[in-house]
Each structure stands twice: as C-alpha cells, then as structure tokens.
Amino acid sequence: MLVNKACPVVLRETAVAKELLVFEHPLAGIQLVKGTIEPGELPERAALRELCEESGIALASSVRTLGAWSSGHRDQVWSFWVCQPHTPPPENWVHRTADDGGHLFRFFWHPLFGEVSELWHPLYQRAIRFIQNAV
C-alpha cells in the first residue's frame, strides 16, 4: 500500500476527555489536517509540513505513526502521524491558508470519542474511526 497523503494527528488530554484538533473548512465541513506527500518527501515530514500550512502550527515534532489507511476515496492512502506542538495550541483559532484561494480555517478541539455530526465531511467521519482504533 503506497501512501500518498499525510495526516498529522494532534491530541490533548483534558480533565474530561482526550481531544483531537480539527477544523471547519468554509466549503466542506469539519475535517482533519491532511495533504499530499510531495515526491521524495517522507510521510512524517509531510505531516509536519501540512500541519504548518493548514493550521499555522510551525513548531511541532512527530511522535509516532498510527499507520496507513486506505480511504476508499480517489486512491488516497493516508499516513497518520501523532504530532506534538512545541507550545500548547489555544482553545480555538482561525488560520488563513496560503493555498487554495486563502480559505479561513476555524480550528477547535473535538472529543476523540465524541459524536460526529452531519457537519463532518463523510471521508473524515471514516478517518476519525481509524484514529480512534489506532490510539
């Protein structure tokens, strides 16, 4: 299985639950950070690059892999990496991406084992189940 997408997974523990960093795309619902692995790029490096590009979190380290997942969408095979920002991200924030028309992504924390609503893009509903099973 040849991976072609990288997905950084940022988790935090609260007194109530383990939470996952997610964002709301203005056109496509609630999603996880994910992007294409460039030719010659290692999936681990791609995960850190995508985290920076899509969320603005520039200083982070990869901690461990959660494995690969065949998404069933456009031959995409995702490589999931738990990533740890060097400083704790805020409760929520908005980041303007430099690509794809400069969308504003609204970031927030979602309970890892919480319900996913119809606001979640269906592809990411399946991806979060992979993460739940892998952590």
Segment 73-96 mean pLDDT: 97
Question: 95 pLDDT exceeds 90?
Answer: yes
Question: 108 pLDDT exceeds 80?
Answer: yes
**Which residue range is the domain that position 65 belongs to?**
5-134
Q: Output the average pLDDT for the chain.
A: 95
> What DSSP element (H or E) covers 119?
none
Question: pLDDT tens, 21-49?
Answer: 999 999 889 999 999 999 999 999 999 99
For residue 56, with 0-12 CB atoms within 10 Å meaning exposed, 13-18 middle and 19 or more buried, which class applies? middle
Q: Are 30 and 106 in contact (CB under 8 A)?
A: no
CATH value at residue 46: 3.90.79.10
**25 contact partners, CB below 8 Å, separation of at least 6:** 31, 103, 105, 121
Distances (CA, A) of 126 to 5, 57, 113: 15, 25, 13
- Per the structure, the count of domains in the chain is 1
First to last CA, the chain: 21
Higher pLDDT, 27 or 85: 85
pLDDT confidence of 62, banded at 50, 70, 90? very high
The structure tokens listed for 45 are 């490096």
